[in-house]
Amino acid sequence: MKILIIEDNQTICRQLGEFLAGHQWQIDFAHNAHLGVQLALEQIYDVILLDLNLPDRDGLLVCEEIKRSAEVTPPILMLTARDSFEDKAVGFRSGADDYLTKPFDLRELVLRCEALARRHSLHKSKTLTLGELTLDTRTKTAVHKGVLLDLTSIGFRILELLVNCYPEPASRAYIVHQLWGDSPPESDALKSHIYALRKSLDQSFDKPMIKTVMNVGYKLEQPCHVD
């Protein structure tokens, strides 16, 4: 889990940092709006904690800009002393996903971060099915038209992501983030993994299943199916 804390108060930063780091989360800090936006746009965070009182710019504008421009829109939790209904209304209207007023229970903050970051029922069901393709997430095995596929661990995870996204394409950035989190390989390893996955998937079958969507990512396609 990767979190960005945009907050200028050193004391609160330290306090938050210590508590959250105890949960094995990786935490980045931005002590002003400028750095906060920059980090939010160039990295993919699971949650962003945003203080509204920043030295250089209003936190509401920071929220709006991140929501507007981020490639993979991150959930934003606003942390502030402003506790009136009007303040909350403005906050949510700027795109906040949650809003916590100071002082707050750090443990509740953790709960809310987890809720925000919770991946969409990704590992809920044990088996995923798409046409003649079946994935067993427990044993990490995939069967296509009755044939057991010989997949590597990463190959299986990519396929799982693609099935979950179907029929939408999964963006490169999203796949990379899901596979490697905050420290993806230097080179474009995903390219090689897709290549290998295609080989395993399409062996001895007519239609290729993984389609490239230029400048976006990859998607699965059902053969013999007109939509």
Which part of the chain contacts DNA (CB under 7 A), choosing from 23-31, 41-49, 117-125, 213-221? 213-221
d(CA 106, CA 79): 11
Question: Of the candidates 88, 45, 82, 36, which has an alpha carbon nearest to the alpha carbon of residue 63?
Answer: 36
Binding residue for its own copies (CB under 8 A) from 120, 146, 183, 226? 120
Report residue 219: phi and psi, to 5°. -140, 160
State whether the Cα torsion 195-200-205-211 is positive or negative. Answer: negative
Angle at 185 (CA atoms; ends 219, 154), nearest 5 degrees? 50
Q: How far is the CB of 195 from DNA (least distance, A)?
A: 4
d(CA 222, CA 31): 48
197: which 2 tokens? 């996955």
Query: Is 205 among the residues that bind DNA (CB under 7 A)?
Result: no
Binding residue for its own copies (CB under 8 A) from 153, 183, 187, 204? 153
Query: Is 15 among the residues that bind DNA (CB under 7 A)?
Result: no
d(CA 86, CA 71): 30
Question: Of the candidates 91, 100, 110, 105, which has an alpha carbon nearest to the alpha carbon of residue 27?
Answer: 110
DSSP code, position 208: -
Number of H helices, E strands in the chain: 8, 12
Report residue 52: phi and psi, to 5°. -85, -20
- Write the binding mask 157 to 186 for DNA: x where contact by CB under 7 A, - elsewhere: ---------------x-------x----xx
Binding residue for DNA (CB under 7 A) from 187, 204, 206, 224? 187
Partner interacting with residue 57 (select from its own copies, DNA, none; CB below 5-8 Å by kind): none
Q: How far is the CB of 223 from DNA (least distance, A)?
A: 17
Q: Give yes or no for a contact between 217 and 174, defined as CB atoms under 8 angstroms apart.
A: yes
Which part of the chain contacts DNA (CB under 7 A), choosing from 17-25, 28-36, 62-70, 189-197? 189-197
Q: Which is nearer to DNA, 117 or 216 (CB)?
A: 216
Q: Which is nearer to DNA, 31 or 172 (CB)?
A: 172
Query: Is 81 among the residues that bind its own copies (CB under 8 A)?
Result: no
Q: Which residues bind its own copies (CB under 8 A)?
A: 67-68, 73, 75, 85, 88-89, 92, 95-99, 105, 107-108, 111-112, 114-115, 118-125, 138-140, 153, 168-169, 213-216
In the complex, the residues that contact DNA under the rule CB under 7 A are 152-155, 172, 180, 185-189, 191-196, 198, 212, 214-217
